[in-house]
Structure 1
Amino acid sequence: MTGTGADFVLSAEGLGFDRGDRPILDSVSLCLRRGEVLAVMGPSGCGKSSLLALIVGLLQPNRGMLQCDGQRPTLMFQEPRLLPWRTALDNVAFALKGDGVPAETRSGRARDMLETLALAPEDLGKFPRQLSGGMRQRVALARTLVGRPDLLLLDEPFAALDMGLAKDMRAVLREYLERQNASAVIVTHDPREALQMAGRVVVLSKAPGRVVFEFAPEPAGSRASLGDGIGRLEAALIEAGTA
């Protein structure tokens, strides 16, 4: 599925990317409507993270067309990547500095976002080394959302979290996306997470990655549809690993 126009925030046609003489992505075509969430799955090394880096502009494609109309695309990595010399509050507030937001406003918005993500008030002044892994990931998600991006690019953001915390953070993310009518591309290895977060899922083949399966479950939400979707995605992932 590809598309252009006001309804689309992202469109790629025949996208290719090489790292040196090694092809990473080959002839990838996909699109993303405004307000839509797309999950990207595939074997390790198939180019999922490279695709996000291309979308946000950290990498440049070697072939094909890529158009991103997001006004505030923001990339969140699996690792928190916090500034070690800044407190939790300052890490989040720092994300607003480049937007020219006044210091007092930056601090207030950062505090509100961290409270939304259930970081205790006594932890706001702690440095990353003083926080647990789950706390650091909450700070990273707060930093991602505080700038109110309209396009989120999420690279396995909850993979390292325990089941309960991951569930809570997915709920916060879903609420944000719905409230802001924001779009998102989520890379995940978890079929259940893909189906719970996204309205559409694409599976990439092993490198060089190309789209070999696309799935939009209907109706969404029921236990039966979730079970069917997981089975279909697991089968597609097995096939993608040998394609």
Structure 2
Amino acid sequence: MNAVVAECKQLEVVEVPSMDRKTVAILAASPCIRSLTLKGSRRSPCIDGDLLAQTTEAGFPALRCLRLSFCSVDDCVWMAKMMLRSPIETLDMSGCPSPTTSWQELFQQLQSAIARSSHVRLRFSDALMAGQVATTSIKAADLEPLFYFENVTSLLISFVKDLRPDNALLKKIADKWGHSLRILGFKPYDGVNLQRSKLTLDSLVLLAKSCPKLKSIHLSINAHNTSGVSIDGVRNKANLCPPCSLPPTSSQSRMIMGHGISINGCSDDSSSEEE
């Protein structure tokens, strides 16, 4: 792979299962790479090899799309340190096993790595590897560096120890990216206890009013913890159809609304069966 990268100076798109760090560093110096996809697996991470003592800070000058699957967050941070001038538009780091502190460092590094004015799509998710136990969860405050970006069009976040966004976080998202946001999702991997959800329909109304371009939402919402906001009110403000309602005996249900918007809602009756 090193030889191929060294010889093919005009490579623009690279998609391979994995790559060693030395090859990644060589690729970072390419002036033409627009898209880099490394698809690893639970058994084989997408970046491997010996740690490098030094890396360039002005790498990937043309990189617009980066997708890393099953890559340690430490390696994601290492990549981000080489992307200080990259015109990134799509950033997808999924299936990344790591402690919470590594995610915090990654978000802070990305604040410097991505051009502030770019329209960017962001997706982050972690995964438990064999024998690994989930520890502390990501907090809403850990996402603060992401608000450095001016024009986020898509934000999808999934963590094993699920991040529980609250109304204040959604308000900040709406205030910051209301003009650009098209997709928003906070997804737990194995089913969240919706009785503990901090989100209410009030925050969904705010999103509907503040984000005119929003096409898709996936949120865990306690539909009974509201200040008198009905689902019909949400639909009317967002100009969505057809009408939807929560089954009164369902502890966990999904409503599919217009424009691909999906919402998780829950009942106060914790003894009822899940659908």
TM-score, normalised with respect to structure 2? 0.30
Q: Which of the pair is proportionally richer in helix?
A: 1
Larger Rg: 2
Higher relative contact order (CA closer than 8 Å, sequence separation 6+): 1
